[in-house]
Amino acid sequence: MRTHQEQVRAEPNRPVTLADQDVSALIGLLAVLEGSVLSGEASSHLNHHLSRHLAKSSLLPADADEQALLTALADMNQRLRVARGEEDGVP
């Protein structure tokens, strides 16, 4: 797989999209994060940083609790699965 810079240099006028491997890896990373938060293994420091970053992207209210963080992570994972074609979308 070409690096991002190689892709841009080879085809500078073509939009850069996520490779299937990128989406697959992101789905796995989100699942690991969600599992860590759910099990209590994630530190409050990590939860705070995740919540802050999601709030900056308007994916979570600034005053969200842990349950809202879990929901936001699960929702992002679902959207990635739909984008990848694993699922048809919202039932």
Mean pLDDT of 69-87: 91
Averaged confidence pLDDT in the chain:
89
Sign (positive/negative) of CA torsion 40, 66, 45, 79? positive
Question: Is the pTM for the entire model greater than 0.95?
Answer: no
SS (H, E, C) 5-72: HHHHHHCCCCCCCCCHHHHHHHHHHHHHHHHHHHHCCCCHHHHHHHHHHHHHCCCCCCCCCHHHHHHH
How do the domains of the chain map onto residue ranges?
44-83
pLDDT digits (tens, 9 = 90+) for 20-61: 889 999 999 999 999 999 999 999 999 999 999 999 999 999
pLDDT number for residue 2: 74
